[in-house]
Amino acid sequence: MIFVKNQAKAGKFCACGSWPQEWLTRFVEHRIGDKRIIRLIQKWLKAGILEEGIVTVSDRGTGQGSVASPLLANIYLHYVLDLWAERWRRHEATGDMIIVRYADDLVAGFEHEDDARRFLDARRTRFEEFALSLHTNKTRVAAIGGAEDARGQDFPWRCHTLGME
Q: 3-class SS at 136?
A: helix
Give the pLDDT of residue 38. 93
Tens-of-pLDDT digits for all 165 residues of the chain? 444 444 333 222 244 456 788 888 999 999 899 999 999 988 888 877 777 888 777 777 776 667 778 888 888 889 999 999 999 999 999 988 888 887 777 778 888 889 988 998 999 899 889 888 777 777 777 666 555 555 555 555 444 454 544
Query: Is-contact 116 158, C-beta < 8 A?
Result: yes
> How far is C-alpha 34 from the chain's CA centre?
26
Give the pLDDT of residue 6. 42
Instruction: Report DSSP letters for 47-115, one per residue.
Output: S-EEETTEEE--SBS--TT-TTHHHHHHHHHIIIIIHHHHHHHHHT-SS-EEEEEETTEEEEEESSHHH
Instruction: Report DSSP letters for 11-42, one per residue.
Output: SSSGGGGTSBHHHHHHHHHHH---HHHHHHHH
**Rounded Cα gap, residues 104 and 151, in angstroms:** 30
